[in-house]
Structure 1
Amino acid sequence: MTNVIAPQTPTSPPPAPPGGGGRGALARLDQYRNVLVPTIAVIALVIYFQSQTSSFVSADSAQNILRQMAFLTVLALAGTFVILIGGIDLSVAANATLAGILIATWIDDFGGTLAIVMVIAVGAFVGLVNGIITTWLKVPSFLVTLGMMSILDGVSNSISDGGPVSYQSGLLQTLINDSTIPNVPNGALIAIVLTAIATVVAFATPFGRHMYAVGGNERAAGLSGVRVRAVKLAVFALAGGVAAIAGIIFTGQASTGVPMGADASLLNSIAAIVVGGTALSGGVGGPHRTLLGALVIVLLSAGMDITSVDPYTQLVVKGAVVIAAVALTIDRRRYGMIK
């Protein structure tokens, strides 16, 4: 007997559940949450602090904000690269401090250009050492860079004898503090250009795609052919070099090398990263978001200064902002257990 198979008609898609359009809109909105939240925060901060003091929105205030953003943005960029691969570098601020001491020590002896190249090379070497210990010895990046932070602070104080280091060259004044564009410090231009370059590298190069792959799922990235160890080493070295640039900017703005000078900015740099929407769990975010996060942190700091909020309360506020930002950006699916 011949079996007859009845022709099958194409099945129609199941009807959309009630309210599906609204949920779809919410889902699309959630995709842009990490950009929308800091953008709304910037607008809200400007409106609030302007309502408290009429001088908040002014040319002088804008220049001050740009000057603070220059250093913080570059320092936070250094930390962003490592966080994107699922690690963390707590030594970026100490690396910046060492770079600031070295540029003040070397710039008169070796000339500006050579001194800057040497300082960036030292910063990259420090980052490479972090990467080697993390990838080859399998020590968590948190512990490696925590120890490196202490080492770098000791080296910085040893070189400077625990005091400020002065220099005569006027190169840093021209490079960092002068304005090629009226009312825009060159340091801010450097920060914007570095952010643009870092964003292109992150989103338009194979290295950037591998970086996100490692941060998203290191094991899967390795199985798909990504050279995970090489990517990590390159990222740590890149972070160290960028941290050194931040230190050069810091010393140019201070007009002297300051021991422990940049160390106090570590919390602010982490805050800028997470407030901008880069998740500490890795694989989500990017340099462009760090620029936005730095703007939020600088506006918050400048506004609290102008409105005479005491320094201790400012620390409380910034700590609360970091906790809130981490809670909003962390990918809880990446962790089997929250400890």
Structure 2
Amino acid sequence: MLYRSLLVLVGFSVAVGSGLGCSNNQPVTDTLVETEFADKLFAPLNYLGNIAKQAPDAAFQSQADGVRKAVVQTKLPDGQSMTLWIYQPDPLPQSKVPCIFIAPAGTMMIHGLGLAEGDAAEHLPWVKAGFAVVAYELSGNADAETSSDVQLKMAAEKFRQAKSGLLNAQTAMAYAREKVSFVDPRQFYTAGHSSAGTMALYVAEMEPQVKGAIAFMPAVDIRASLGIDGITYVQNSKIVPEAGVYVNEISPITHIHRLSQPTFLFIAGDDRPDITGPADTFGKKLRELGSDVTVVRVPKGGHFEPMLDPGIPMAIEWLKMITQTH
């Protein structure tokens, strides 16, 4: 993969908001989503951490030059199993390393998805650059193209029970904090492409542990991504009750005022209009709010290839600057 500095690329527009660490937004200090309040009232203190302590230790094996990987089965609070792929740089630096949390891409953001071998292409560059990576699956695994309405309904229910993926991310962070000794718990970041980019932004908005977010071609407005026909079908088929209201509640653009962390937003000009239009608006609104945002817009390449190159190499250079600053 071509590895180039963020500052020497020619032919790409980079728009930077306030200086690093200079957001005028108040830092996020609470989690605001669905049943979180009830969880805090009725669950033991640090219940996710306690669950993580009971999970198996990570057994790392060589994956590629400079990369070791472990596959771990942990639990959600309701007892359901959840898979994590944990990567460590090899050799490990003497100091603890920042950790990036990445969900699988390819959902409609009304259901979840498991991890697949093809996802590794989005994980390995970060590890080779010296970061730890925890890839986590999303509850409610389904394939929108092949699953029946009944299967999608069941998957959507599991996804909502996992707080629309937020609980999956929080569980992954709890495991990293409690069981992965080489990560720095003060430097947790989210990243992802497409729907995983949506998840990266949503988790950053809702979870104060996250210190920065990286989103490649995210669907920041899920209503626009699904479209009127898609939302109508999902609702009329009873896959998701009140689908329009629900996807609005979990769209990053709805909670943009909560995104106080440094943010890297990558857009391809010839991507789908329901992706590029809202993403452009999202970046502009973040700048208007005084947020620390870097927006990179490449002219062409479609929805996938630009994420691999130049997107990830540029984001790696950006995150190195962020971690050095903090």
> What's the TM-score, normalizing by structure 2?
0.27
Q: Which has the larger radius of gyration?
A: 1
The structure with more helix, counted as a fraction of residues: 1
